[in-house]
Amino acid sequence: MVQPRFVRPTKSSPSSNSGESNSSNLYVANCGPAVGLSHDAIAAVFAAFGKVNGVYAADESGVRIIISFADPCSAKSALEALNGRPCPDLKGRSLHIRYSVLQLPSETQVNDCVPVSLVDSELNIPGLFLLPDFVSVEEEQQLLAAVDARPWIGLAKRRVQHYGYEFCYGTRNVDTKKRLGELPSFVSPILERISLFPNLDNDPSCLDLDQLTVNEYPSGVGLSPHIDTHSAFEDCIFSLSLAGPCIMEFRRYSVSTWKASSADAEKSGDSSCIKKALYLPPRSILLLSGEARHAWNHYIPHHKIDKVKDKVIRRSSRRVSFTLRKVRNHPCRCKYPQYCDSQQQM
């Protein structure tokens, strides 16, 4: 069965105004698989307003969906009841809802693709560096074996492990009073090699990395756009890719995004952000520092297949990332206050 194709409503769309009830299809932002809400769970909530024909992904973000009702009256009732309000049955998330339009197959256009670069210099983002082959194939297998021998924590779509400090996804921060202990010995060679990382002109104390999050992404699972909370971590963030490749997209918004997801930034009218993308091969390590760390959202599209230059690359059955950071014990004083929770709260 072919999935219906919808497009995001625009200001010029006849059904984009939240006061018009000429569509049975709703565009809903800030909910979806990427935030732990399955399509079945979402359908159950919206079914209270009428028959739901289907729930579909609005794009590849995992946080925007289309609800297709059997009739416009049901869509109108749902929009009026849920738009802009926290929904207790959807983890308390505030939904941003507009009408959407079903496109006929003949009208469907190919989605705009962000060109994917193979080297960091093509992106021209200050503070972003990618080193291929940071570990060998043998070291990669040893690291994977080490984490697979330890317990995983199951999230909605992926599994994680935390070392040093636990990362709290609800607050997007760490509790500095609850230290888990030293980082495991299997990352010691990585830490030693990081100390020799080129292009580092940061305070040496920022490289005293003390927090590790290991993520396992099954094929097709990505990561929602976000900036790592400024008050939580110091300037340098390292991410080592193992077992499989991915595309990482970088987005620069002009409005503040520290309180909410980029879906909210787009809702505020900043949908025309700058977008750039980089291919992360297995065994490569990515450094985000300076502007790249503090001002650019990073995002992994929820794809099973990625287009890189003229090649189509199928993602492997799993990708494992090691994200290494230094927990911050003082307010952030970066040069990007519009994205900084420390400076926004002053």
Amino acid at 101: V
How far is 73 from 75, CA to CA, in rounded Å? 5
Same domain, 99 and 124: no
CA atoms within 13 A on the CB side of 137: 0
Tell me which of 80, 108, 136 is where a domain ends.
108
- Average pLDDT (251-255) is 83
Report the length, in residues, of the chain.
346
Same domain, 79 and 127: no
Whether pLDDT at 5 is above 90: no
- Average pLDDT (13-29) is 64
- Average pLDDT (76-95) is 92
Same domain, 200 and 289: yes
Instruction: State the average pLDDT for the chain.
Output: 84
How far is 230 from 296, CA to CA, in rounded Å? 12
The per-residue pLDDT for 144 is 97
- Lowest mean pLDDT, pick from 107-116, 218-227, 301-310: 107-116
The per-residue pLDDT for 36 is 83
Same domain, 145 and 90: no
Contact predicate 331/231, CB 8 Å: yes
- Lowest mean pLDDT, pick from 56-60, 66-70, 145-149: 56-60
pLDDT band per the 50, 70, 90 thresholds, residue 172: confident
pLDDT band per the 50, 70, 90 thresholds, residue 3: very low
Same domain, 83 and 126: no
- Residues 195-216: tens digit of each pLDDT: 877 767 666 666 789 999 999 9
3-state secondary structure the chain: CCCCEEECCCCCCCCCCCCCCCCCEEEEECCCHHHCCCHHHHHHHHHHHCCEEEEEECCCCCCEEEEEECCHHHHHHHHHHHECCEEHHHCCEEEEEEEEEEECHHHCCCCCCCCEECCHHHCCCCCEEEECCCCCHHHHHHHHHHHHCCCCEECCCCEEEEECEEEECCCCEEEEEEECCCCCHHHHHHHHHHCCCCCCCCCHHHHCCCEEEEEEEECCCCEEEECCCCCCECCCEEEEEECCCEEEEEEECCCCCCCCCHHHHHHCCCCCCEEEEEEECCCCEEEECHHHHHHCEEEECCCCEEEECCEEEECCCEEEEEEEECECCCCCCCCCHHHCHHHHCC
Query: CB count, 10 Å around CB of 133?
Result: 11
The per-residue pLDDT for 90 is 92
**Higher confidence at residue 281 or residue 207?**
281
Share of the chain above pLDDT 70, in %: 82
pTM: 0.68
- Residues 29-41: tens digit of each pLDDT: 998 887 888 888 9
Whether pLDDT at 110 is above 50: no
How far is 130 from 120, CA to CA, in rounded Å? 6
Highest mean pLDDT among 4-8, 86-90, 139-143, 309-313: 139-143
The per-residue pLDDT for 64 is 85
The per-residue pLDDT for 57 is 80
How far is 189 from 322, CA to CA, in rounded Å? 13
Query: CB count, 10 Å around CB of 199?
Result: 12
Same domain, 163 and 97: no
- Lowest mean pLDDT, pick from 171-180, 183-192, 194-203: 194-203
Burial of 11 (0-12, 13-18, 19+ CB in 10 A): exposed
Same domain, 138 and 274: yes
- Average pLDDT (287-294) is 94
In a domain, 1, yes or no: no
Q: What CATH number has the domain bearing residue 129?
A: 2.60.120.1520
Q: Residue 322 is part of which domain span? A: 116-343
Same domain, 192 and 71: no
- Average pLDDT (188-197) is 89
Tell me which of 108, 143, 158 is where a domain ends.
108
- Residues 117-137: tens digit of each pLDDT: 999 999 999 999 999 999 999
pLDDT band per the 50, 70, 90 thresholds, residue 15: very low
Same domain, 80 and 138: no
Whether pLDDT at 268 is above 50: no
Tokens of 67: 């609800």
